[in-house]
Amino acid sequence: MKGIILLTLLFSMKSAFALPTILKVVGEGKTEFIATGRPSMLKIHGQSKGPEGSVILDGNTITGTLSLKLSDLSTGIDLRDNHMREKYLEIKSYPTAILTLKPLILPKFEGDGTKEMPFSGELNLHGNTKLVSGTAVVSSKDRSYTISAQYPIHLSDFKIEIPSYMGIKVADDVNVTVQLKMLR
């Protein structure tokens, strides 16, 4: 009888000591940015595939590190892409951007659902690390999560020269959107 009570106690404690789960980021993501020119009639839209990496789900908290190869960024104009990669982002010296997430507390989902929440992390770009924060929209379906996060960056914070061409300058503020899907 004592053995059955002990086994019942151990099984009931299992959820209290659940091991963290590694969530693999799958290839359905996308990274985008919008940079506004000065004069503001110019909007530069860039994109690439989503970041790579894995994150850890511990209870309802996500932490982890994601990386993006900057050579994959494209605005659709070859000359502008070359200037962006070589002159401004200096991808030979700084080939990746790395986002280290601060603990993101996921809401409790009752089945499938979508919730919006603030998030923050440390972005290492162009050899400089700065705190970034924004809004994340998290969707849960079956055994996966889809996250779409938006946050602004300031090029000057990362010591990136403000791009200019033929008298048109890009504003210091750039809006970034990252979409990714993670599987359990």
For 71-122, write each residue's pLDDT tens digit: 999 999 999 999 999 999 999 999 999 999 999 888 777 767 888 999 999 9
Residues 100, 102, 107, 109, CA torsion sign: positive
For 149, the 3-state DSSP assignment is strand
The mean per-residue pLDDT over the stretch 114-138 comes to 95
Over residues 36-75, the pLDDT tens digits come to 987 667 889 999 999 998 889 888 888 999 999 999 999 9
- pLDDT score at 40: 66
Listing DSSP states for 103-148 in one string gives EEEPPPPSSSEEEEEEEEEEEEETTEEEEEEEEEEEEEETTEEEEE
Domains present along the chain, CATH in parentheses: 18-183 (2.40.128.110)
- Quote the pLDDT of residue 1: 44
Tokens of 44: 């530069």
Q: Is pLDDT above 60 for 17?
A: no
The 10 Å Cβ neighbour count of residue 28 is 14
Q: Let me know the angle formed at the C-alpha of 122 by 102 and 112, rounded to the nearest 5 degrees.
A: 40
How many other CB atoms are found less than 10 A from the CB of residue 116?
10
What is the spatial distance between Cα 144 and Cα 139, in angstroms, rounded to a whole number? 8
d(C-alpha 126, C-alpha 158), whole Å: 6
